[in-house]
Chain A
């Protein structure tokens, strides 16, 4: 059914992104590996969201290369990566309407959509909300729907932009558990956060950004115990100012 060739690793080399000659993001080299939980860490305005958008193809690098391996590198290939935005746009339809719409855009046929939606609702604990208008859900429920909607198309790689930044601790824990479960089922994800504790809980690999530059890329254990840059040390000690 699904292609077996992986789109991972995702490789970035000498990437810059500039607007009107002003460079807003610089990534000398970065790799996203299959099966690793990558956490993009950094203070506000560090370039985390830009990095995700670049990887996801929403913006094109001014210079350098963002390349998926295998067929994923072909822009025409069906997208095998999805993204959950910091403020996901809920369509003015029901919860299941949102899921059906996402499946439709991914090329799933009408009858298959009707068949798949109940299973997805159940999988993400949304069954009781199926008929509710998506825009009146609570923040935590909306975020769960946003993740369900992105994961419904069975991507290999999922980008998440601050998925729990606006949630209370309970909702945050639910989202983290959901992400760990999806990872256990074979989904590779990359998420941004400025929450150190969350990064420690979730990360296999850390990409640390500051001031629009990727400063460190390291396994989590290494990064948290022996950061190489002064900025990372400052951030870990919560004394980084920008």
Chain B
């Protein structure tokens, strides 16, 4: 209890101070993570559904690879994106390295396999139930994808949250490609890593508390919305 009370006091004093730098860190974190997860959802949902319903050579291999990439170490993803975006890399001309954009790319790469793999499983299960009905009504596999994605929407919220959890907790990849530049690419997780190694534990703990609170808030909200919707739509 004592630790909890101390944490609350520290968080409160942190927020009372309303350090603009601190606020900036939170905002950058949110911007990077939400953009990366949003884009991964836009790409990953249809891709996962296509993988669920598609019939092509190499499909099984692709499923195994996607599942395996759910466990891709962030630092490895960071390194790969770093090489791609570095001055002499193939996308060096974009000038993205050490910008929030680079961090979004890195988190997108980390989150996409999770969303594709979980969506694939969800849609494949749903297809078993819907197959005869949709085929009877004239839908081929391609046309069934939007119907299945929409009917799986409440399960897919959880998929998105899994992606969000991966992205918001991650530090290795964005540290490598973002550079942890104060006021520009410093996020909550990279700041925590930095402050801890500097010995500024109260600040690190405060940031950790804010990060946890935000995660709880987002998950709580998503759960409530999805439960309400599921109850309404059956």
Contact A85 B147 (CB under 8 A): no
State A89–B233 Cα separation when bound (angstroms).
13
| A19 interface residue (CB < 8 Å to B) | no
With A89-B130, A91-B151, A101-B147 already in contact, the answer to whether A135 and B136 are too (CB < 8 A) is no
Q: Size range of the interface on B?
A: 10 to 19
- As a 0/1 sequence over residues 94 to 131 of chain A, the CB contacts with chain B under 8 angstroms (1 = contact) are 00000001100111000000000000000000000000
Nearest B residue to A137, CB-CB: B234
Q: Which of A66-99 contact B (CB under 8 A)?
A: 78-79, 82-83, 85, 88-93
- A contact residues around B154 at 8 Å (CB): 92
| A136 interface residue (CB < 8 Å to B) | yes
Nearest B residue to A101, CB-CB: B147
State A87–B147 Cα separation when bound (angstroms).
19
Contact B133 A88 (CB under 8 A): yes
| B217 interface residue (CB < 8 Å to A) | no
With A89-B129, A89-B130, A92-B151 already in contact, the answer to whether A102 and B234 are too (CB < 8 A) is no
| A183 interface residue (CB < 8 Å to B) | no
| B138 interface residue (CB < 8 Å to A) | yes
- A contact residues around B130 at 8 Å (CB): 89
Interface of B (DSSP majority class): helix
State the interface size on chain A (CB cutoff 8 A). Answer: 25
- A contact residues around B147 at 8 Å (CB): 91, 101
| A197 interface residue (CB < 8 Å to B) | no
Contact B136 A92 (CB under 8 A): no
| B31 interface residue (CB < 8 Å to A) | no
- A contact residues around B133 at 8 Å (CB): 85, 88-89
| A147 interface residue (CB < 8 Å to B) | no
Chain B: minimal CB distance from A183 (Å): 20
Contact A136 B234 (CB under 8 A): yes
Q: Which of A133-164 contact B (CB under 8 A)?
A: 133-136, 149, 153
Chain B: minimal CB distance from A101 (Å): 7
Interface residues of B (CB under 8 A from A): 129-130, 132-139, 143, 147, 150-151, 153-154, 232-234
29 contacts between A and B (CB under 8 A): A56-B136, A78-B138, A82-B136, A82-B137, A85-B133, A85-B136, A89-B129, A89-B130, A89-B133, A90-B234, A91-B147, A91-B151, A92-B233, A93-B150, A93-B151, A101-B147, A102-B137, A105-B134, A105-B137, A105-B138, A105-B143, A107-B138, A133-B233, A133-B234, A134-B234, A135-B233, A136-B234, A149-B137, A153-B137
